[in-house]
Amino acid sequence: MRVAITASNTQKFTKNTTFTLAEIASRSIINLLFDSRIQRSEIDGIIVSSSSFEPYLSNIISEMVGLKPKFSTKVENLCNSGTSGILLAYSLIQSEVCNAVLVTGVEKQDSPGNKLNWDITRGIFDMPVHWASLYASNHFRKYGTTIEDLASISFKNHRNANKNPNAIFFDKYFTLSQIMDAEIVVSPLKKFDCCYPCEGASSILLVSEKLAQRFEQPIWIIGISQNNQGASFASVTNSLDSIMSTKLAAKDAFNQADLSPSDIDIAELHDAFSILEIMAYEDIGFANKGDGKKMIRDNLLSTNTRGGLLGCGHPIGATGIDQTTEITVQLQGLAKQRQINNVKTGLVHNMAAAGTSTTIIILRN
Amino acid sequence: MRVAITASNTQKFTKNTTFTLAEIASRSIINLLFDSRIQRSEIDGIIVSSSSFEPYLSNIISEMVGLKPKFSTKVENLCNSGTSGILLAYSLIQSEVCNAVLVTGVEKQDSPGNKLNWDITRGIFDMPVHWASLYASNHFRKYGTTIEDLASISFKNHRNANKNPNAIFFDKYFTLSQIMDAEIVVSPLKKFDCCYPCEGASSILLVSEKLAQRFEQPIWIIGISQNNQGASFASVTNSLDSIMSTKLAAKDAFNQADLSPSDIDIAELHDAFSILEIMAYEDIGFANKGDGKKMIRDNLLSTNTRGGLLGCGHPIGATGIDQTTEITVQLQGLAKQRQINNVKTGLVHNMAAAGTSTTIIILRN
């Protein structure tokens, strides 16, 4: 049985409001339901994705928005929570446990998911930017990737964010030289190479093939896979060149879809740091190892059209949902001022914790 | 496709040890894997059920026990987390996303899941025992249930716990009069009418029909359903008589299994408070409304043979897994000194937050 995404809603990513998690999530759901051709009573599953500590969050949100679903749970998988929720929703529908599952990602700026204290393999270098800087230094040394390449990634994604009213940097314009000249955080990474934790919510509706007939532009999940290599930076890979979970998840998803990377028209790549977009090009298979920089130098693929994590901000549990939302609206032709022409097949790449886990979703209209 | 439970392991429920969540869970998984006819590389899913705040817990545990699964996530649904995880594992296998999913529930005694602060409909009466006492008072007034009936539930479950080495009260014997004469917590509920939060872990392995052939005694999931009515006590039901989520989840599970309550040989009922076992008899359909007390007075069904929450203790995220483990080993004939003869069909009843959500699982050997 095929599973479709038929509706989505993202609320503006912002910072430090007085709204609670449940309020932010509820607003996104209510807006989704307002637009969508489905009754509350038909939604028989809800999955809430969040790194927050709020207990029973999926049931709290259900009550606030007037849902009494058959299935409800919260999932937590750090930055990979959102697409973990989508994979579970896909599975609930495929297995006919549910017919229509709402997946909502929500986070506050002070999310405890910003840092993984458990991973003592990182020593005192325990912020995410520490492992990201190692990836970047390695890529510079081995493959000739440059500070200009990283800045080009950040510049592109910030320019894309200028077309996305939900992005936290929607109305902030940065020139390439501002990005190049920003202060160093951990060498070689500078301020604009790093995403910004923020608050926000994004919701998406997955439905069965039968229910999808009611919608004009269902977007079909034709490949979906996840891979987990552990939790510590030390377990990501045997070298600093590749992120194993991304390679394995992408390979499996392409097999399911019976497609290859050259079939992808548009992609959301997990650019928590600019270097990760370069590595994603390579590990997913858009470029050979070491050639990721060519993708940006030669502008070979439409990526991170919503602005990526760099331009949108990174509300942890919401990011994977908003990435999927972006590909969905692009394939529906509803992306307004940031619409890319003639896109039929899109890919979502969502990761957590230095790349210890990755989810890949391939969508088609 | 059918889904089977083929292995399980529970570690002794205890209190306030110095072990971490991940250590407690890992011990349970390692023991399960030691006994089971499956390789680590064949386990392609892990779901960790916990109310704890530890981020990325499922990946941390995976790394500690040497698993690199395709899918990994933590789920949180308060006291209903364990069976939510089992339902998701069932769905992942049914949908052929995974072939073998490990579900591990784990909790420390000071779990934040012990109280739902969000539910302000309870006013200052914000402990679980407050809503439980309202259920009990109502049952006394309307249906003639007595303090003796509640004490009989607690006595039975504590006696069962005396046969379960994993129960926290395994080596504590309480007489019926000790239970009757214990101090009142919130009238009419006394000390032994209330379960005891504790720490512990329980793990269970779900596999596809094909993998199940490798095992001598697969136990089949023939009905599984959940229902959610919200998060606040005010939304559980229109009266204090029934728990709506239990009625709806049970009805759906019996429909799937094409069975009725009279077909059930053994059941684990969510006795977080003694009155809840009485209400479960009625809401699941073992007895007519108001007649739950007859089930215990006339000893009509084998229930809570592991000791229930009252006798085992209640490590929140682990409880639903250990309930399912108990029915599994009973149907396998491996329950040793507490084995019930001639049991073929069993039922698990797991709830959260005053009964706002319930999961029902029906198993057969």
pLDDT at B83: 98
Percent pLDDT > 90 in chain A is 92
pLDDT at A360: 98
Predicted confidence band at A60 (pLDDT cuts at 50, 70, 90)? very high
Rounded mean pLDDT of B325-342? 97
Residues in chain B: 365
Within 8 A by CB and 6+ apart from A181, the residues are none
pLDDT at B337: 97
For β-strands B100-107 and B200-208, DSSP reports them as antiparallel
Distance CA B323, CA B5 (A): 13
Q: Would you call A60 and B112 a contact, using CB atoms and an 8 Å cutoff?
A: no
User: Residue A114 pLDDT more than 80?
Assistant: no
Cα-based distances in Å from A26 to A203, A204, A237, B263:
9, 13, 39, 42
Q: Would you say A315 and A307 are in contact if contact means Cβ atoms under 8 Å apart?
A: no
Q: Would you call A55 and B75 a contact, using CB atoms and an 8 Å cutoff?
A: no
Record the tokens describing residue B233, joined without a space: 């006590």
Distance CA B310, CA B154 (A): 7
pLDDT at A280: 98
Show which of residues 109-128 on chain A sit within 8 Å of chain B, judged by CB atoms. 112-113, 116, 118
Distance CA A236, CA B297 (A): 58
Q: What are phi and psi of A340, to 5 degrees?
A: -95, 135
Q: Which of B51, B84, B353 sits opposite A73 (nearest CB)?
A: B84
Rounded mean pLDDT of B141-162? 98
Say yes or no: B209 contacts chain A, CB-CB below 8 A: no
Rounded mean pLDDT of A156-162? 98
Helix then strand then coil, in percent of chain B rounded to 5, is 40, 20, 35
Best mutation site among A54, A57, A72, A356 for testing chain B: the one with the most B CBs within 10 Å?
Answer: A72
**Weakest mean pLDDT among A77-86, A224-233, A317-326, B122-131:** B122-131
What residue type is assigned to position A65 of the chain?
V
Chain A positions in Cβ-Cβ contact with residue B227 (cut-off 8 Å): 68, 70
Distance CA A232, CA A354 (A): 8
pLDDT at A117: 81
Q: Would you call A77 and B74 a contact, using CB atoms and an 8 Å cutoff?
A: yes
Chain B positions in Cβ-Cβ contact with residue A353 (cut-off 8 Å): 56, 59
Chain B positions in Cβ-Cβ contact with residue A230 (cut-off 8 Å): 59, 62-63, 68
Rounded mean pLDDT of A170-192? 97
Q: Would you call A96 and B94 a contact, using CB atoms and an 8 Å cutoff?
A: yes
pLDDT at B259: 98
Cα-based distances in Å from B256 to A4, A97, A99, B263:
25, 11, 16, 13
Say yes or no: A88 contacts chain B, CB-CB below 8 A: yes
Q: Would you say A117 and A123 are in contact if contact means Cβ atoms under 8 Å apart?
A: no
pLDDT at A120: 81
Q: Which of B55, B84, B227 sits opposite A116 (nearest CB)?
A: B55
Q: Would you call B90 and A84 a contact, using CB atoms and an 8 Å cutoff?
A: no
B74-91 per-position pLDDT tens digit:
999 999 999 999 999 999
Distance CA A72, CA B229 (A): 10
pLDDT at A32: 96
SS3 B209: helix
Within 8 A by CB and 6+ apart from A146, the residues are A140, A293
Q: Would you call A353 and B56 a contact, using CB atoms and an 8 Å cutoff?
A: yes
Torsion sign over Cα A34, B226, B56, B50: positive
User: Residue A220 pLDDT more than 90?
Assistant: yes
Say yes or no: B72 contacts chain A, CB-CB below 8 A: yes
**Exposed / middle / buried, residue A266 (Cβ in 10 Å: 0-12, 13-18, 19+):** buried
Distance CA B310, CA B198 (A): 11
Closest among A325, A264, A329 to A300, alpha carbons compared: A264
pLDDT at B15: 95
SS3 B319: helix
Q: Would you say A222 and A5 are in contact if contact means Cβ atoms under 8 Å apart?
A: no
Number of cross-chain residue pairs from A and B with Cβ atoms under 8 Å apart: 172
The alpha helices in B36-161, defined as continuous H runs, are: 57-65, 81-94, 128-143, 147-161
Within 8 A by CB and 6+ apart from B71, the residues are A84, A87, A226, A228, B44, B45, B46, B92, B97, B98, B101
Q: Would you call B54 and A357 a contact, using CB atoms and an 8 Å cutoff?
A: no
Q: Would you say B362 and B87 are in contact if contact means Cβ atoms under 8 Å apart?
A: no
**Weakest mean pLDDT among A133-137, B111-115, B162-166, B343-347:** B111-115
Say yes or no: A90 contacts chain B, CB-CB below 8 A: yes
Say yes or no: A59 contacts chain B, CB-CB below 8 A: yes
Say yes or no: B227 contacts chain A, CB-CB below 8 A: yes
A233-255 per-position pLDDT tens digit:
888 877 899 999 999 999 999 99
Task: Write down the pTM of the prediction.
Answer: 0.97
Q: Would you call B230 and A92 a contact, using CB atoms and an 8 Å cutoff?
A: no
Say yes or no: A208 contacts chain B, CB-CB below 8 A: no
Residues in chain A: 365
SS3 for chain A, per residue?
A: CCEEEEEEEECCCECCCCCCHHHHHHHHHHHHHHHCCCCHHHCCEEEEECCCCCCCHHHHHHHHHCCCCCEEEEEEECECHHHHHHHHHHHHHHCCCCCEEEEEEEECCCCHHHCCCCCHHHCCCCCHHHHHHHHHHHHHHHHCCCHHHHHHHHHHHHHHHCCCCCCCCCCCCCCHHHHHCCCEEECCEEHHHECCECEEEEEEEEEEHHHHCCCCCCEEEEEEEEEECCCCHHHCCCCCCCCHHHHHHHHHHHHHHCCCHHHCCEEECCCCEHHHHHHHHHHHCCCCCCCHHHHHHCCCCEECCCCHHHHHCECHHHHHHHHHHHHHHHHHCCCHHHCCCCCCEEEEEEEEHHHCEEEEEEEEC
Q: Would you say B319 and B309 are in contact if contact means Cβ atoms under 8 Å apart?
A: yes
What is the residue-averaged pLDDT of chain A?
Answer: 96
Show which of residues 235-274 on chain A sit within 8 Å of chain B, judged by CB atoms. 235, 252
Q: Would you call A226 and B72 a contact, using CB atoms and an 8 Å cutoff?
A: yes
Q: Would you call A60 and B118 a contact, using CB atoms and an 8 Å cutoff?
A: yes
B266-299 per-position pLDDT tens digit:
999 999 999 999 999 999 999 999 999 999 999 9
Q: Would you say A349 and B64 are in contact if contact means Cβ atoms under 8 Å apart?
A: no
- Side-chain-side CA neighbours of A37 within 13 Å: the count stands at 11
B104-146 per-position pLDDT tens digit:
999 999 888 777 888 888 888 888 999 999 999 999 999 999 9
Chain A positions in Cβ-Cβ contact with residue B84 (cut-off 8 Å): 71-73
Say yes or no: A72 contacts chain B, CB-CB below 8 A: yes
Rounded mean pLDDT of A262-282? 98
**Exposed / middle / buried, residue B238 (Cβ in 10 Å: 0-12, 13-18, 19+):** exposed
A339-359 per-position pLDDT tens digit:
999 999 999 999 999 999 999
DSSP letter assigned to residue B170: T
Best mutation site among A52, A76, A110 for testing chain B: the one with the most B CBs within 10 Å?
Answer: A76
Distance CA A47, CA A86 (A): 8
Q: Would you call A226 and B353 a contact, using CB atoms and an 8 Å cutoff?
A: no
Q: How far is A57 from chain B (nearest CA, A)?
A: 8
Q: Which of B57, B58, B231 sits opposite A63 (nearest CB)?
A: B231
User: Residue B35 pLDDT more than 80?
Assistant: no
Distance CA A178, CA A172 (A): 12
pLDDT at A258: 98
Within 8 A by CB and 6+ apart from B180, the residues are B147, B148, B151, B190
